[in-house]
Amino acid sequence: MRLRGALQVVCTTLLIWMSSVSVASSATRRVVLLFDERPELPGLAHFDAEFVDKFTSGSAEPVEVFREAMDLTRFSSDAHKVLLRDYLRKKYADKQIDVTLAIRQPALDFLLNSVDPVFPGAAIVFLGVDSTYLDGRFLPPSVSGVLLTRKFAPTLELALRLHPATENVVVVSGGAEIDLKLLDAARKQFQPYDGRVSFRYLTAPPMQELLTELSELPPHTIVLYTTFFRDGTGQAFVPHEVVERVSKAASVPVYGFIDQYVGRGLVGGDVYSFAAHGAEAAMLALRVLGGNPSSGMVVTGRSMVLFDWRQLQRWKISESRLPPGSEILFREPTVWDTHRWQIVTIAAVILAQAVLILWLLFEHRRRRRLEVEGRQRMAELAHMNRQATAGHLSASIAHELNQPLGAILNNVEAAALMIKSPSPNLQKLETILDDIKRDDERASKVIKRLRRLLTKGAAVDPQQLDLNKVVRDVVRIASAQAAARDVRLDSNPTPQPLRVSGDKVQLQQVILNLIINGIDAIAEMPNGVREITCRSWGADGHALISIRDTGPGIAPDRLERLFEPFFTTKQDGMGMGLCIAHAIIEAHGGKISAESRPSGAVFHISLPLAKTRRG
């Protein structure tokens, strides 16, 4: 029983001790943010949000944040400050405040100049205080903070670099105490530029008057905006709202010194940031709550070079002229930024299609090349066949005519010798003349027989066929040779079938012969239109074909002899092609003719249409 009682006492003691430790470790830490102006002002609001975010996320204990506003722009009397001090003392009398955050110099002065501390036992952390504030001033050990170095000259230098032709600088400022203090600091920093540009200070004019003046500024001018809490009439303003009106009204670019103004009409500037300073102040406050000594811990806030992309576009300022390391805000996203994966997908599909199309084109070109080669060989074979036919006819003519011509020659020579004799034998001369006449008739018969051979001798295998198809087939065969010699070959057959009775091969040979002759004629021309057109149609019971070329045409003295045997206009021609074509067409009961025009030669073929069979 004694042992059990002792254990209960020990356990109760441990529970009490652990409970006290837990309560101590979970004690709520309280921070008061004291603003010199209204905390809803945009710059102060950004600071507030950044400080609270960093402070609460970095604290191991629960945090309770209070906000108080001095609102000195609207209530700047000493009596107001006394009343505010007494009010805050009573308000927080029953709360233990761990840290007081003084936002800007008036708030810090308010806390330091009170005879009795407003928040007894609280450490003070300040921010937004100008670095000159510490000159010759002693701070208590419980005070730490973030100093603000107000730099006006870097923004002016930056603006002059972007606008090298600048002649005038207009400085816009309000008339409140803080406005005038900042303006005085700016004037001092602008003194080295007095000989370089002309300065004009618009200090606290009535708002409408200010906007009118800014809208009428001459070229080669820039505007520098500081702050504008109050105009000369005593009317209070919000600086962020004023900068929007100033930038909208100004006829020239406007630059500033606070990051919160960028995005409200400023082009940009070398600016300081309340948000960045708020984060640094939160780190100092956390050190204080963590028990680390804060005496003498004063840091200087950083500045940055910011630009508004929209204003760069408005004033046509190239990004390549901006200083290295500049940050550009409000850039409109490009199509690539918003639709990157869609673009990549579409590009991949297009690339795949392009590869497929290229492969198909390659295959098509290869097949077409093979077809062209095949058709070219066919055209060559047709040409060789035409040459072989002409050669065969030439051999036949020579063989048939050699004998009678040789006999005539012998008889003429014999008659010549007899005439030279003193007493010619007239009877023998008569016999020789009879022989010459007989050989001449024999030669005539040979020519007539060859002529009959040319007109009727080719065996015709008549069958019904579509003349349109014959024309298309020949054009297809000759297209390779035409393309090889840079001649365009077109066909224009009638949509209706043209039924004729004839030999397909011989009709193809005729059309092919005419096309090849046209190609040869065009090939001799150095320039101009190079074209052959084959047209077919029906009229008056006949199928008609015209083959027109854009060659030099046919001379009138040659037109009548064009279809005669052995008549040719070519140096290496034999003069049998058109003769054979003429014979074939006449053997089919048709007609062939030629016509010369200024634009070239035209050959006409007429064949009787086949009679339609009725069942």
Reported as a single tens digit per residue, the pLDDT across 605-615 is 999 998 765 54
What's the CA gap between 317 and 163, in Å, rounded?
Answer: 9
Please tell me the least confidently modeled range out of 7-21, 199-213, 464-478: 7-21
348 C-beta neighbours (distance < 10 Å), count: 10
Query: In CATH, which of 3.40.190.10, 3.30.1330.60, 3.40.50.150, 3.40.50.2300 is domain 153-271+303-336?
Result: 3.40.50.2300
* Ranges of each domain in the chain: 25-149+272-302, 153-271+303-336, 373-457, 463-608
The two three-digit tokens of residue 602, written as one number:
């035209």
Residues 388, 443, 456, CA angle at the centre, nearest 5°? 50
385-405, pLDDT tens digit by residue? 445 444 434 544 554 566 568
- Which residues, 6+ apart, have CB-to-CB distance to 304 below 8 Å? 259, 270, 271, 273, 276, 327
Residues 350, 351, 357, CA angle at the centre, nearest 5°? 85
What's the CA gap between 284 and 483, in Å, rounded?
Answer: 88
Confidence of residue 439 (pLDDT cuts 50, 70, 90): confident
Closest Cα to residue 297, out of 435, 422, 146? Answer: 146
pLDDT given for residue 247 in this prediction: 95
Query: In CATH, which of 2.60.40.10, 3.40.50.2300, 3.30.70.1710, 3.40.718.10 is domain 25-149+272-302?
Result: 3.40.50.2300
CATH placement of domain 373-457: 1.20.120
478 DSSP β-pair partners? none
Q: Do domains 25-149+272-302 and 153-271+303-336 have the same CATH topology?
A: yes
What is the CB-side half-sphere exposure of residue 453 using CA atoms within 13 A?
16
What's the CA gap between 561 and 579, in Å, rounded?
Answer: 10
Backbone angles phi, psi at 545, to 5 degrees: -130, 135
181-200, pLDDT tens digit by residue? 899 999 999 999 999 999 99
557 C-beta neighbours (distance < 10 Å), count: 7
Confidence of residue 571 (pLDDT cuts 50, 70, 90): low
The two three-digit tokens of residue 68, written as one number:
């108080």
Strand 600-608 versus strand 542-549 pairing type: antiparallel
- Quick check: 259 and 304 in contact, CB under 8 A? yes
pLDDT (mean) for 486-515: 86
What is the CB-side half-sphere exposure of residue 252 using CA atoms within 13 A?
24
- Quick check: 267 and 123 in contact, CB under 8 A? no
- Which residues, 6+ apart, have CB-to-CB distance to 576 below 8 Å? 389, 390, 393, 394, 565, 566
State whether CATH 3.30.565.10 applies to domain 463-608: yes
Helix, strand, or coil here: 27? coil
pTM score, whole prediction: 0.48
C-alpha distances (whole Å) from 298 to each of 131, 281, 475 are: 10, 10, 97
- Which residues, 6+ apart, have CB-to-CB distance to 570 below 8 Å? 520
Residue pointed to by tokens 């002649």: 167
The two three-digit tokens of residue 353, written as one number:
């299609």
Q: What is the CA radius of gyration of the chain?
A: 56
Higher pLDDT, 520 or 567: 520
pLDDT given for residue 14 in this prediction: 54
Residue pointed to by tokens 């000369």: 232
The two three-digit tokens of residue 49, written as one number:
């949000």
- Quick check: 238 and 207 in contact, CB under 8 A? no
